[in-house]
Structure formats: structure tokens, C-alpha cells
Chains A and B, each alone.
Chain A
Amino acid sequence: MPRPLWNGSLSFGLVNVPVQLTGATRDLDLHFRQLHKKDGAPIEQRRYCSQDEVEVQWEEVGRGFELDNGKQVVLTDEELASVQPEKTRTIDVQAFVDVDDVDPIYFDNTWFLVPAGDSQGTRRAYRLLVEVMESTERAALGRFVMRTKEYLVLVRPRDGLLSLTTMRFHDEVRPTDGIAPGGRKPAKDKIEQAVAVIESLGADWDPERYTDCYRERLKRVVKQKQKGEKVKAPSEPKQPEPAPDLMEALQATLERMGSSKGNGKSASKGGRKKAAAKS
């Protein structure tokens, strides 16, 4: 197992379970290094003082914050660390909430919380927590500090383990004012047609069906270049014009779907059953 990112304990009531944090997602993007075109040498980012034009080492860097009156306050990392609350090493469960009540818009990053230490007692407490959260379909809400920032977190079971998701605060989600078009509700028959199109394109969620084509193409471009081949950038395709008549477009879609019945992957996937609408 990779080195844990964080060691601490999860505590609810008087039960303390030592846990470690380890990644639940991995970044598979291709990463590039900046090179100097002329000589192919890697480019380094170096810090310079804008006033005396000298290179500055990391130890000489402070955190500047501009006040409303234009003055600047400078903090050292040491001073910044002083506001880390006591929760630094503990995830205190404040409440248990229904998982369905938490919209994914609040989700930031997810990790696994795995039991730490050798004690049988703590491992049993861990398993108890997983089982009880599974049976009650509840997730634990708490706070914890990683590096220098305190997060609101949601702890929930995932395949027999506990996962921890950092969450955005409510004021970090923007208001939706002025985004949706106003005016009358659309005509019922239009909605019905659209519902029919949606149902005919219905499928079950199967994440393995989607591969990262961009990653694959980028790997191919790298290979082509490695062999000395030329790579051409595509020209920008035209934007489709919105259908002048939505009803016609929806109807035409349904007709086309009807004639290709059995060929389409989504139609054959058994996704025609009506989904249980979320309350």
C-alpha cells in the first residue's frame, strides 16, 4: 500500500478508531514538462524578488495578504500553522446525515480511510462503523485538517471500507440566479416527446464503457512524434444550428431510433425500464 497521506483517528461519541488516509482516485493524465524549444533543455521555475532582482530561496518566502487599506500583512508558514485547530489529528463526527441529501456539487476529493495500528479492538470498531453506516444508509459528517486547511468531510462506506470526501462550503457554490431562462413552462406535448427520446436512449450506468479517448489520442501523438512522423492539428468543425422546430427534431429522432431498433447499443442494453425518480 502507498504511504498514507494522513494519520489520525476517527472519533464518534467516545469511540476512537485510528485510521490512515490513502487515495481513492488516481490521476492518469499524461504530464508534460516545459522545455526550451531551441535546445530541448528542461525549463526551471525560479523565484525572483521583484524589487531587488535576486533569486529567492523557499525559506525566504512569506505569505502576503493585502488589507482593505492597501497595506500588506506578511505571515510566515509557522504563524499560519498556529491557527490549525486541535482537530489536526482527529476527524470528529458531528452528525450522521442521509447520503442522498448531500448533492454531489459539494463533493471535492475522495480518499479511503483504512484502519491503522495492530489492535484487534480498533479493527473491530472500524468494521462496526462500516456495517452500521451501510445498514442505516447514513454518512458521517465531520471536520479534519490536512496540510494547512480545515475541511468539512463526509465519511461513508464504499465496498467494505470507509471513504472520506472533502466538501465545498455552501458559500463556495455559486447562486443560480439569472442562469435559467424565465417565461412560461413549455407545452406538455413537447415535454412528452423529449421524455420519449430520453427513454429510448436510456441505459444503465456502466462506467467501464467509457474510456478516456483524449488520453489514448495523446499517447498516440507522442508515439507518432517519437517515430518522427508529422502530426496535424484538426480544423475546428462547425457548430450545429439549433433545430428550427424542436418538435420536428424530436419526432425525427424517435423515427430514426425506431428504424434502427436492435442495432443501437443503448436500445439493446435493456435500459428501457423506467428509472425510479429520486424524491
Chain B
Amino acid sequence: MPKSIWNGTISFGLAHVPIKLYSATESKTVSFREVHLSDGAPIEHRRICSKEGKEIPYKEVVKGFEVAEDEYVVLEKDEVKAAAGARGKVIEIEEFVPGDEIDPIFVEKTYFVGCRDDGDAYKVFREALEQTGRVGIGRFTFHDREYLAAVRPLDGVLALHTLRFHDEIIDPGDLDVTIPRKGPSQREVKMAEQLVESLHEKFDATDHEDTYREAVLDLIDRKAKGKKIERPEFEEREETDDLVAALQASLKGGKS
């Protein structure tokens, strides 16, 4: 059983569901620690006052917001908390929206939702969400900051996604990109569709392994055995100029 990271309540209308949150994801990227190359000893990061040149304990640290160059407004840790809001440990669902309307670009982090009691209210809520195809949108405070969140059924449990705000999503119209006005010919579209179809498969996450992680672990193994590590050279590929010819060749089973 994993450890929960937050205990609270989901409320919708006058109903309350006592819940716990669990991390739903964990990075498996091979992580290294910084070491001193000359003696292999671990590196420590120390806080040094830029004026005194001395190390500073954490309790003497305050947060500074830069309002002009080298001019800071100082906030104590408690004052930052004042912005977190007086929401308490409640995820208040404001409304329920159709689940397929939220583009995944809004999703930031995912948590699994468990329950703190016999689970009766939890099961009712989960089942009802499943039947309606809707997800609950609400806000909650976690680690002294407020998040927008979506609660939805997933894989037999409830999942909570923290969401980005709309002004954090860049509008493609703000990018200076020129796409040719003239659309592709019917023939090109048809060939491309055939190509997409021939490469179509059902998505299954377990089909895709992190081969880079494996390569890094293999590198560590080779280095541990005292082998010499060299960097390979790569070739550049040519860009496509004759679209029809490239599509045709691809459909004939050519592979770049």
C-alpha cells in the first residue's frame, strides 16, 4: 500500500467524500548525484550570502520578489501562506463538465484518490461520475498553493489531475508560422492517409519501454567494468522536396 500525501475531503453540493491522495506517477529516469571528479566525494550545495560570503542556515532565508533590478520586496514564509487561501483541506467541486472536452494539454500532474472511511460515499461518487461521463472541476490547496483540479474515474479508482490555467496555454495564433495557403492535392492526401492507415496500431503503453534508461544503465555497467566510452557520429537526413515521390516510395514499403 503506497503512502498517502494528502488527507482531505471532496465536496460537491452538500455531500462530502473523505479522501486521501496518492502520487500516480514516479520518474524512473536514472538519477545521478553530483560528485567531485578529482576524488569522487559527494558535492554539497551551500547557501552563501552574496554580501558576506558566509554560509546561511535555512531559517535566515526569506523570499524576495524582484520589482526592479536588484530591488526586492521581501516576503516571510507566513506571508506567502496568506496567498494560499483559507480553503482548508477541501476540494470543492464547482461544476461537472464532459470529460472529453478537456484537452490533455491542460493536465499537469496526476494523483490517485483513495478513501479515508468505509468508502461508501467514494463508491457512489465514482460510479455516478462513470455513468455521466463527466469530470468534477474544483480547486484545492496543496503545499501552500491553490490548484485547479479535475476529478475523474480511471481504472477502477478516482484520479485527480491538477490543471494549467487558460493563460498558461499558448495560442498558436501568437506564433509567427507561415503555412502554405494552397492545400495538398487529393492524391497526396489519399497517399498520406494510406500511409497513416498502414502504420496504425492500438495504443498500449506497455509496448513502449524506456530504452534510453536501459542504455544509461548499460553505460554504467560498461564503465564499472573499466571499458572505454566513445561518442558515435551521426548522419544528417535529407529533407523532403518531392512530396509525391516520397509518399509513393514509403507506400512501397521503403523505410528511411
Write the A209-249 contact mask toward B (1 if CB under 8 angstroms, else 0). Answer: 01111110110111001100001111111111111001001
| Complexed CA–CA distance, A46 and B129 (Å) | 50
How many inter-chain residue pairs (CB < 8 Å) link A and B?
593
Q: Which residue of A lies closest to B123 (CB)?
A: A186
Indicate if the CB atoms of B172 and A159 lie closer than 8 Å: yes
Q: Tell me if A270 counts as interface (CB < 8 A to partner B).
A: no
Indicate if the CB atoms of A82 and B229 lie closer than 8 Å: yes
Q: Which of A13, A23, A28, A106 contacts B256 (CB 8 A)?
A: A13
Dominant SS among interface residues on chain A: mixed
Indicate if the CB atoms of B165 and A210 lie closer than 8 Å: yes
Q: Which of B222-256 touch A at CB < 8 Å?
A: 223-224, 229-232, 234-243, 246-247, 249-251, 254-256
Q: Which of A245-279 touch B at CB < 8 Å?
A: 246, 249-250, 252-254, 256-257, 266, 269, 271, 274-278
Indicate if the CB atoms of A152 and B98 lie closer than 8 Å: no
Give the bracket for the number of chain A residues in contact with chain B. 35 or more
Give 17 A-B pairs besides A26-B170, A37-B60, A52-B39 with Cβ atoms closer than 8 angstroms: A38-B60, A44-B47, A47-B46, A49-B43, A73-B223, A79-B229, A124-B182, A161-B177, A174-B26, A181-B119, A201-B94, A202-B95, A202-B134, A213-B139, A246-B121, A269-B95, A275-B98
| Complexed CA–CA distance, A81 and B212 (Å) | 11
Q: Which of A60-84 touch B at CB < 8 Å?
A: 60-67, 71-76, 78-83
Indicate if the CB atoms of A242 and B239 lie closer than 8 Å: no
Indicate if the CB atoms of B39 and A217 lie closer than 8 Å: no
Q: Which residue of B lies closest to A225 (CB)?
A: B73
Q: Which residues of B contact A278 (CB under 8 A)?
A: 99-100, 133
Q: 28 interchain pairs (CB within 8 A)?
A: A14-B249, A25-B169, A37-B74, A40-B64, A41-B50, A43-B47, A61-B34, A61-B35, A63-B32, A64-B35, A122-B239, A124-B243, A132-B193, A136-B197, A141-B203, A145-B212, A152-B210, A160-B179, A170-B205, A172-B27, A178-B2, A191-B124, A191-B131, A204-B101, A205-B102, A208-B166, A239-B9, A243-B15
